[in-house]
Amino acid sequence: MIFFKLHKTKKAFKGLLFLVAFFISLSAIVLGAYLLFEKKYENKVYPGVYVGNINLGGKSFLEVQTILNEKVNLLDQNGISFRYQGKQVKVFPTLSSVEGDLAYQIIDFEVDRTVNEVINLGRGAEPITDLFKKIELFLNKKKSPLYFSINKEEIYKLLKSNFSKFELEPVNANLVYNDGEFTIENEKLGNVINYKESILLLEKKLASFDTSEIVMKSQIAKPKIYKNKTTGLDLVAQEIIDNAPLTIKFDSSKHEIPKIYDQSWTINKDQVIEWLKIKTEFSPLEERDKILVGLDQKLVKEYFDENISPEIQIEPQNAKFEIKDGRVVEFQVSKDGLEVNFDATFNLLENKFIKGGENDLTLAMTELKSELQTEEVNDLGINEVIGTGHSDFSGSPKNRRHNIATGAASLNGLIIKPEEEFSLITALGDIDGESGYLPELVIKGNQTIAEYGGGLCQIGTTLFRTVLQSGMPVTMRRNHSYRVSYYEPAGTDATIYDPWPDFRFKNDSEYNILIQTRIEGDDIYFDFWGTEDGREVELTEPTIYNITKPAPTKYVETLDLPVGETRCTEHAHNGADAYFDYIVKYSEDNIVEERFSSHYVPWREVCLIGVEKLSENGTATSTEESIE
């Protein structure tokens, strides 16, 4: 009996040893397989990861980057088609001027962010969570989105300008003045394209690299104001004009601005009639919109901009300085400014004239303080050149040269205070004809539209290089969409376009920085004057790779040129990627390193051809020409 029990115990022990050995072996096999799996996918995307329908499993960072950039390049060159009632318009991620210099992105693909996302899937801080994530990826493929940002407003304007002829806007019931009395005309239904839905569909398609055509839909658009809700408003309007004319005054005694005097403007009855409209206004008391007679804010603003504001508006002026004989000399004294506070004035017109019956009003004004007062800069601490940037604009046409000189002059003499973040867009101010800039034609769909800003990327690029040579931190920078000879070597340029993208940097020194600009022939230089603080700067030469040829030349029909006349952009450009390293040594213990990476899309030549009538899609067949 005792022997039987011992035998049974021995047998159980052997079974237990077998199980332990089995589990140890199995664990070793699983661990080995896991280690082999990790070794195979070291610094690579785990299997089962997709962007759109692109399988990225097993690919390295550089391979994923190359694959996605190739897809982006194709999208950049081919665009996405929008169609409505037989008309097709292609939206390209980058809009470019006819001369090719003014280019800005309305769709900005964040390839590096997308690559980092797919590479880091399954690589978190929690090993257990990561393990389950890897199993999930292995069993069920994971679609990671393509990251991008789009300028919805610009895309809307592009589509609207190309398809608006198909639309009928709704019309509210409104006032009509004939033979000395008001009547109210009926409202009208409209039929408009649903641009919002189309842009949402565009976003959905882009996230998965879907480049198929977007067919836009229209919808009935109802007016907001119906005639049957406006009873008696014609009589209200009559009472308002009986109170005309309206006098608007400017009282100079309220403002300590020299050389500005009292003025007044008389708004006659006919002008008041033109301004009146039936509109809605939210009533907090009744918690609903009320229909009433008021002023058309757009028309009133146009009148003020044309007739009143120019008479009394004074722009603030910062103190500016230059270097003469090694000394800082002021050449522009600071001055405060003054402008019409239109919103406050419009509220006065609505409340006191329309609702209160007063016909003698005083303009609401806003005083504008200059950002840099003369008395603040007695001790600038400006002693020496701390950095110089340079670029070459050889071959630039007349308008471009003019804009470069205008932009450089607007920056010359500016002071950047310690710890101040400098915005180039802000410093340049309004980029328009009134500021002295000349326009370029920009291709938008099947149209060419005059826009300002050509040549200012030369300013951005020169400033970027000056900042680097001075060892200042860059806080915002985008490269140009494609390679341009003016900005070589590739990777060292900075593009700007109002309001975005901007170029920004921070003066992280303890001293003021004075900007001095100079143009010598085809060369532009920016000098930063300040005080050396011992920082050392190292810049590597740009590495340029992934050279990509552009698509064949594309011809776009236009009604803006004589029939048969062709106007092309500058030569096509190869696409490429580039990077360089920027090292600033503040001290032995404080060294900051940053890599600036740039992606340039291959840029096909686009030619406009004048036609008498646009064909269905407005785009002629591409040629087979391409650059070597």
Please give the Cα distance from 309 to 303 (Å, whole number). Answer: 9
The CA angle 520-525-528, to the nearest 5 degrees, is 140
Please give the Cα distance from 328 to 324 (Å, whole number). Answer: 6
Q: Which of 64, 115, 108 is nearest to 480 (CA)?
A: 108
For the stretch 33-50, what's the b/e string if a residue is b when 16 or more beta carbons lie within 10 angstroms of its beta carbon? eeeeeeeebeebbbbbbb
Cβ neighbours of 313 (radius 10 Å): 15
Helix axes 456-470, 398-411, angle to 10 degrees: 40
If phi over 0 gives left and psi between -120 and 50 gives alpha, with beta otherwise, what is residue 455?
left
CATH architecture under which domain 227-368 falls = Roll (3.10)
Instruction: Please give the pLDDT value at position 165.
Output: 93
The values of phi and psi at residue 203, to 5°, are: -60, -45
pTM for the complete prediction? 0.74
Instruction: Please give the pLDDT value at position 78.
Output: 85
Instruction: Please give the pLDDT value at position 451.
Output: 82
Instruction: Please give the pLDDT value at position 624.
Output: 34
Q: Which residues have a Cβ under 8 Å from the Cβ of 379 and sit 6 or more positions away?
A: none
Instruction: Please give the pLDDT value at position 560.
Output: 77
Instruction: Please give the pLDDT value at position 622.
Output: 37
Kindly list the averaged pLDDT for each block of 10 residues, start to end, along the chain of length 628: 56 69 74 71 87 90 90 87 92 76 83 90 73 68 87 93 94 95 96 97 92 95 96 96 95 72 91 96 86 96 95 83 69 82 96 94 90 58 90 92 95 92 95 90 67 90 98 96 89 90 96 94 96 96 92 80 80 89 96 95 82 66 32
Can you read off the two tokens belonging to residue 280?
């809605």
Domain ranges of the chain: 1-38, 41-78+111-146, 227-368
